[in-house]
Amino acid sequence: MGNLLEVKNLTKKFGGVTAVNDVSFQVGEGEIVAVIGPNGAGKTTLFNMISSFIQPTVGEVLFKDQKLTGKKIFDLAPLGISRTFQNLQIFSNMTVLENVMMGTSVKLKTNVFSAGFRLPVVKRDESKAYQAAYKVLEMMQLTHLMHEQAGQLSYGQQKKVEFARAIVYDPALIMLDEPMAGLNDAETNTMAGYISDLKKKGHSFLFVEHKMATIMQIADRIVVLDFGTKIAEGTPEEIQKNEKVISAYLGEEAI
């Protein structure tokens, strides 16, 4: 299994504050890697650097041996990278189907000219987008809601819509920022099942999450941050026994 993503010595400074300090790790093909750490550990800042939402002060990110550092966030989707955000990002006034179809745009050929003149390519693209979106909605048992406005759904259903939009164009790497946040136990287990099933199909995942039981269940490897620095990396079993991790979460007296 080769490395799909390589994070090399990423550092981010905001003025005199170092939010992330010299973090390195890899994500292999068909691998699930979780990033964990106490609140304020730098997890989202790290995620934002990897996905080109912000640029690092030092370090670089490689995807399939191609340098991502310096690219714009919209450059990543055509390369095969999708991500969700910590704060739910959906189009509330659009239907569930329309939300998910939006995720297919990276693979379509329609542009302003062809759309304006309703050229044949537009109809073909619309058909492809519909079929791809319907397939994902069917997998996630959302077809009965496909014509509902996304803003009218429950929070858990909206999280599923956001996830569906992130996976609909078949990206190689799916980055999820707290995908289980706000979900109940049943919804969390369902989301974990989707991630595990997609891994079996060859997708890779990098995700930030606080629900430790879920992380231990589905992650192949875990990267642990504390005060912006990587303090541990290993399998779930190794992380559970790591004294630095126990100390970071529970305090020195826990050792």
**Whether residue 106 sits in one domain with residue 165:** yes
pLDDT value for 74: 85
Q: Buried b / exposed e across 39-63, counting CB within 10 Å, b at 16+?
A: eebbbbbbbbbbbbeeebeebebbb
**Whether residue 180 sits in one domain with residue 166:** no
pLDDT value for 87: 79
- What's the structural domain count of the chain? 2
How high does pLDDT run on average in the chain? 89
pLDDT value for 103: 87
Reported pTM:
0.88
Domain containing 132: what range?
91-170
Helices and strands (H and E) in the chain: how many: 9, 10
**Which tens digits make up the pLDDT trace of 206-221?**
999 989 999 999 999 9
**Which tens digits make up the pLDDT trace of 4-25?**
999 999 999 999 999 999 999 9
**Whether residue 114 sits in one domain with residue 159:** yes
Identify the domain boundary among 143, 170, 197.
170
Domain-located, residue 239: yes
